[in-house]
Structure 1
Amino acid sequence: MDVIDYLRDELKNYYSESSELLLSSRFDNQPRFNFYFQIKADCRFLLYLNWDGEGRYFTLKCLEFSDAALLTQLASDYTEKGSRVFNIGQPKSTLSFMYQGKNKLNGTEFRNTNSFPFDRNSMSGQDVMQCVNPEFV
């Protein structure tokens, strides 16, 4: 299973109302290392997954915006303008990790994350999602 697909599935399982934001076809020739997910409609938080592009290192951030209406407008603009539209979002929580295999993720850096019992050297995808859940941080 492709690691990006695995992480998409984990995100969708944890945030059942989530949806990935997609760029227009004019961006098709550019490599994608950044992925954005709305957690649910009328929410002021956005999840941002960054991949290093070559290896197994990822960063998952929960970005906070002033209100849900602003985020809805930015998500609409993202299709044509790209990720720079989200630059006004403030990181609420950040988790960096290394993918070792399905449900074998090693947390490498935690900032403002939810604290709950887990083994940072053997995290599941659900552990990663819970760490950045804005409802618990």
Structure 2
Amino acid sequence: MDVLNYLRDEIKAYFPESSELQLSSAFANHRRFNFYFEIAPQQRFLLYLSWDGDYDRFTLKSLEFSSEEELERLAAAYPEKGSKAFNIGRPRATVSFESRGGNNLSALEFKGAVRLDTNVKELSGRELMQCVNPFEG
């Protein structure tokens, strides 16, 4: 799906040290609706991108964990355990949005410590990343 690739590129551009966590081959035949990204090494925040699977609706969250070590341990378990590994993360900022094609994103809902005027309806990928950036503010 093009919008997923666009969002991956935006995450990588905004957080250049980020990396997408990969599941083991045991999950190869399952459709993926949840994607996790370590933002940078040795920190306690993770980005969670959820796709609804049928429409172009998404949720992007920054999750906070109690320590760098806890996140490192959970990330190591993710390939075999899947998304349940991160259930103890606390949402810090959440933006629900839909893709209108290309890089046109339409905000549906903002929650938490969002760093953008929540009255805005149209977002760029960069603005979306600014919304959930746990290192600012």
The percentage of counterpart residues that share the same residue type is: 53
TM-score (ref. length: structure 1): 0.94
Q: Contact 2:94–2:114 at 8 Å: present in 1 too?
A: no
The answer as to 2:77 corresponding to 1:77 is yes
- Provide the C-alpha distance between the structure 1 equivalents of 2:118 and 2:87, rounded to a whole number of angstroms: 31
- Provide the C-alpha distance between the structure 1 equivalents of 2:117 and 2:15, rounded to a whole number of angstroms: 20
Q: Could you tell me which runs of 5 or more consecutive residues in structure 1 were left unpaired when the two chains were aligned.
A: none
Q: Could you tell me which runs of 5 or more consecutive residues in structure 2 were left unpaired when the two chains were aligned.
A: none
Aligned partner of 1:87 in structure 2 is 87
- Provide the C-alpha distance between the structure 2 equivalents of 1:52 and 1:121, rounded to a whole number of angstroms: 19
RMSD between superposed Cα atoms in Å: 1.5
* Deviation, structure 1 residue 119: 7.1
- Provide the C-alpha distance between the structure 2 equivalents of 1:19 and 1:37, rounded to a whole number of angstroms: 5
Provide, for residues 86-132 of structure 1, a one-character-per-residue CA deviation record: whole Å limited to 9, x for no partner: 00100011000010122210111001243335873221001001000
Aligned partner of 1:22 in structure 2 is 22
- Provide the C-alpha distance between the structure 2 equivalents of 1:82 and 1:52, rounded to a whole number of angstroms: 17
Q: Aligned to 1:32, what secondary structure does the other structure show?
A: coil
Q: Contact 1:118–1:127 at 8 Å: present in 2 too?
A: no
- Provide the C-alpha distance between the structure 2 equivalents of 1:46 and 1:71, rounded to a whole number of angstroms: 8
* Deviation, structure 1 residue 72: 0.6
Q: Contact 1:77–1:85 at 8 Å: present in 2 too?
A: yes
The answer as to 2:67 corresponding to 1:67 is yes
Aligned partner of 2:107 in structure 1 is 107
